[in-house]
Structure formats: C-alpha cells, structure tokens
Amino acid sequence: MDIIASGSNTIEEPLVMAIGTFDGIHLGHQQLIKTLKDKASLYKCASAIYTFDRHPLNVLCPDKTPALLMNNKQKLSVLRQYGIDYVILNEFNKAFADTPADKFVNNILFGLYDVKSVIVGFDFTFGYKGQGNAQLLKDEGRKRGIDVVIVPPVKVNGITVSSSLIRRLVSDGCVEEAACYLGRPFALLGEVHTGHKIGHKLGFPTANLTPDPEVVVPRRGVYATEVVISGMEGIWKAVTNIGTRPTFNDTHISVETHILDYGGWLYGRELEIRFISRLRDEMSFSSPKQLVRQIREDIDRAREVLENLDKASSASQSSSESH
C-alpha cells in the first residue's frame, strides 16, 4: 500500500476511489471498502482511499473536535489489511476547508486523478461549509461519465453505525457494544513506559501506556483485554486498569495492563490493547492486601471471559468450515 501526500498527482494509473474520514474503520466504512474493492475489480483499476490527516472539526471548530477512535498509524495499519493500493492522506487545513465544492470536484478529485468510479457514504459532504453533498457529486460524475456510488447507512439492530455513536460507547465503557459496530474490539496503541512499579511490588507487574491524547479512552475501570506486542507473534490475554490508583492517592489517569502468563521485558515496546469486556468500575481499597485480593479475582474473571471468547470463536470457525 502506497501512502500519497495531499496535492500529489504521482498516481499515474486509473483509480477507483473511496472518500471519507474513516475514523474507526467501522462496519459502515467497511461497506465502503467492500464496494471500492468490487468496483476496482470491475473496472480493472487500482483502489484508493482519500482521507484526512486529522478530523475536519479540528480545523472547522476546534472546540468541538471529538476524540478519535484511532490515530493515523492505526488507521493506515487497518487499511493495509484490506489490500488497498493507495491511501491519499490529505492535509486538512484552513485552505482546504475553504475550497469551494466545485473547485474540489474539478481541480482536485477529477483534476489530479484519473478516477473511474468514486465511492462515498450517504452523509458525505465536501467543499466550503459543506456546500457539496453525495448527490451533487453523483450529478457531477454523471456529466463526466464517472460512476459515483452512494453507500446507504449500515445498521445494527436498527441503529445506524457511526463514529460518533462508537465514541460515546467507548467513553462510557461499553466496549462490547462498541465492538458490534466496529466489527472488531476497540483498541489503544501506545509505547510501554516506566511507571511507579506498584503492580510489580504487589506481585502483578503491569505495562504502563500513555495513549495518544487525541484518541478516546474507555471509562475508568477494569477490563478483560487482549494484547498484541510489537515484534512478537500471537495475542496475549490480559487485564487492563484505567484510572487514577485511588488506593494510593494518585490523581493521574493511567492505562496499566497485566499480561497473563507473561514474564518478558516490555519497556519501549509498542502494545495494541484490545478491549474485550468491562469487568468492574474503578474502586478504592482500604489496604494493598484488599487490592491484591481483588486483582486476583479480576484475573480469574478475565481469564474466564477470554477463554469463553476463544471457545466461541473456535466453534464459529468450525461451523463455517463444515458448511
């Protein structure tokens, strides 16, 4: 997958292009990507995602900028898994925000690229103050003989999948429900740094992460999680605590993960923490001894939740293979 800087016309082959913010790459975005891949196959063209280096509200209305579901590194990593040929990572700045809709269509979209088909979501808008919408783009495409596809909303249990809905679920700690709309567990990415070593002293060493400040963090509490360690194969079962360590009168929000059955070195490594299930709220204990007792219970429960997930996944895979 090639990553192309905004304004570049270095792609010399015909394209089918999907446009959007793609924050979270949820089930709705995945439908756009499926349509993109299908059209690329039909037109025998390369596939391209046209997206942005930041959320548009970061420029349009900074005070209302939402916390993201993933940073650019995560976004590009997930898009790479879909076999996209190009990602055009556009710099969303004031000049771009002020671009009139017709100029975006004529000078950028159909001016810089040899586009045979364009895929957008039902709620897509573009141009200065959102002057353009999906239907306008479809009309402009028709004039040029370009196939513009508007993907309808994707719904789960009658609810339209959206990044804003998933952000709200994650921030409320509803990670299992968020996964239903994402199509996979919500994940935080970060590098392990030195903490206060409280977990180590209690007999449960933890990997301490400082997540991207622009990415939403689940509500304070304890979660059953899965961990991917950079440079290592496999997925590790874990327990993750998000909170302020109230038992030790700490006020700093931390993300601490105890990886089950792991005793290796983690400092400086990058971890992807996948949130599977919320176990309990943040609690304060009267003594470290009480905390240790609760941690053991958390580990037992997390292990049970994650092992049941493995069994369900294996059963589902066996059922699929039998058919």
pTM higher than 0.85: yes
State the DSSP string of 14-47: -EEEEES--SS--HHHHHHHHHHHHHHHHHT-EE
- Please name the amino acid found at residue 136: L
Neighbours of 110 (CB within 10 A): 17
The residues pairing with 156 across neighbouring beta strands, listed in sequence order, are 159
Q: What sign does the dihedral 159-161-167-173 (CA atoms) show?
A: positive
State the DSSP string of 172-195: TT-HHHHHHHHTS-EEEEEEEE--
Neighbours of 87 (CB within 10 A): 21
Nearest Cα to 309, choosing from 176, 161, 182? 176
Residue given tokens 């999948």 in the structure block: 161
pLDDT of residue 55: 86
Give the E-state strand segments of the chain in sequence order. Answer: 2-5, 15-19, 46-52, 86-90, 115-121, 125-126, 132-133, 147-151, 155-156, 159-160, 186-193, 207-209, 221-229, 236-243, 254-259, 270-280
pLDDT by residue for the chain (323 residues), tens only, comes to: 888 876 566 788 999 999 999 999 999 999 999 999 999 999 999 999 999 988 888 888 888 888 999 999 999 999 999 999 999 998 888 888 899 999 999 888 898 899 999 999 999 999 888 889 999 999 999 999 999 999 999 999 999 999 999 999 999 999 999 999 999 999 999 998 876 555 555 667 788 988 788 999 999 999 999 999 988 888 999 999 998 765 555 556 789 999 998 877 788 889 999 999 999 998 877 677 888 888 899 999 999 999 988 777 666 666 656 55
Where does CATH 2.40.30.30 sit in the chain?
Answer: 185-322
Where does 185-322 sit in CATH, by number?
A: 2.40.30.30
Query: What Rg value do the Cα atoms of the chain yield, rounded?
Result: 22
Where does CATH 3.40.50.620 sit in the chain?
Answer: 2-159
Catalytic residues: 256
Where does 2-159 sit in CATH, by number?
A: 3.40.50.620
Provide the 3-class DSSP secondary structure of residue 7. coil
Rounded-to-integer distance, Cα 189 and Cα 23, Å: 15
Rounded-to-integer distance, Cα 175 and Cα 66, Å: 18
Question: pLDDT tens-digit profile of 28-45?
Answer: 999 999 999 999 999 999
Nearest Cα to 14, choosing from 38, 49, 33, 40? 40
The residues pairing with 4 across neighbouring beta strands, listed in sequence order, are 88
Nearest Cα to 122, choosing from 135, 106, 105? 135
- Following CA atoms 209, 210, 212, 215 in sequence, which dihedral angle do they give, to the nearest 10 degrees? 70
**What percentage of the chain exceeds 70 in pLDDT?**
90
